[in-house]
Structure 1
Amino acid sequence: MQSLQALFSDPTAWAALAALVVMEIVLGIDNLIFISILSNKLPEQDRKKARRIGIGLALGLRLLLLSMIAWLVGLTAPVFDLGWQGPADAAGVPSFETQFSWRDLILIAGGLFLIWKATKEIHHAVDPAPTGDVFETRGAASIGFSAAIVQIILLDMVFSIDSILTAVGMTENLAVMVIAVIAAVTVMLVAADPLANFINRNPTVVMLALGFLLMIGAVLIADGFGVHVPKGYIYAAMAFSTLVEMLNMLARRGKKG
């Protein structure tokens, strides 16, 4: 207890905590969008329960990873090398990495899953009639509860690893990381139902959110190959797209009025 009091009497600890809470909330947006879209595919009586379970699992996975930081950091060590360097830039730095760690492989797999899932949902939204192809879906509420939870767990793992590795890169203080993760997941819990209901009521927002998932999936794959896209660019693009969509919604309401 005294160590915690000493810790938070230090202004630098408060600054690190504030910065990390903001970063964890921003990183949690990706996770929350996926949970919202997936839970909206369930029957209405199961949606809130799925969101609570999904966010609870996200918190549990993050705290578990924090208790295994040494193992988690070890995931960044290369496990194999293709032995070929991509084209180099003017400074002689390869354009992408050919050494892959477990973290890289997890990010690539998660990115591919996000792109597949978002493409499937976009296909169903554009052409809901069954076609018998690889992206066929059986209806808005066709997904089973257990299948939804399994998919949420898979993406929770990817987002949790990314989130905790970001936290480790920002501070070495475990208490600060734990408090930041709990605060960020609490915000996700509060925002989950309003966000999911808003997405469900506005079909164009659903398409926008699916577009976000496609972009996030592509960024995860790029990150896995060593092409690091600054997160600020990604979230600035998402914020601008959301602003444009809000203006479109206001314009449509004005025409109806």
Structure 2
Amino acid sequence: MEKYLQVKATNPEILEKAENGGAVTSLLKFLLESNTVEGVLNIKKEKDVYDGIPTFTTDADELIETAGSLHCAPTMISDIIARHLKDEKIAVTTKPCDAMAIDEIIKRCGINRDNVYMIGLNCGGTVQPIVAEKMIKLFYDINPEEVVSEEINKGKFIVELADGTEKSVKIDDLEDEGYGRRENCQRCELKIPRKADVACGNWGSSKGYTFVEINTPKGEQLIQNAIDNGYIEAKEASEKQIKIRKKVENIMIKMAKKTQKKQL
């Protein structure tokens, strides 16, 4: 199923707090408030961007606290589902590796796939928290505690400070010095979570919108229901935007294959 949309939240608070149109937070909010799921498994930022805590949320008003990316604080979501939530009807945000792992958990533990809504997040890789703090201190010449957000975009690791200032360094330069993304992430060719019901990200998106690829009939129905109930606005992605997104994905895949040759 290949269907691409540009999606934007209708809630002003979500638009302000979330990233790239706020589609992910809006979809999770709809799933909870419509009683489609019993709870949402997501990552919540605690004291800083290096401290992400897995959070199972049953109150839709609390979802805003989980908005935004945390490349420096990933966790293995699938293990939490297998141990604690296999009998719940849930929504979960998933990087490509999470989506693959959850798919295996579903097969092995007999979890009903219909009870799991996977909201996928495009992923260029993650950074170990301790490595990130050292890296920022060394290469960016700033106090890691001053960083309020970070992202990986256009081949760079970008950090933002409280005053809105941004600093960036090329991922290649960081990794040549033994920093940057986890080695597994450097080798990984799977950047878009197509095992999820929808895959969301900023590659190819218009300003203020999330680029969404619909992967399953359940994902398509979710998007339509969220539109019908006023949680999101959506428009078709242009051919140019689709090509840009594909180009970004292909560049990352080439980088991964180059690293595979070097490391393996």
The answer to whether TM tops 0.5 is: no
TM-score normalised by the chain length of structure 1:
0.26
TM-score normalised by the chain length of structure 2:
0.25
- Which of the pair is proportionally richer in strand? 2
Structure with max Cα Rg: 1
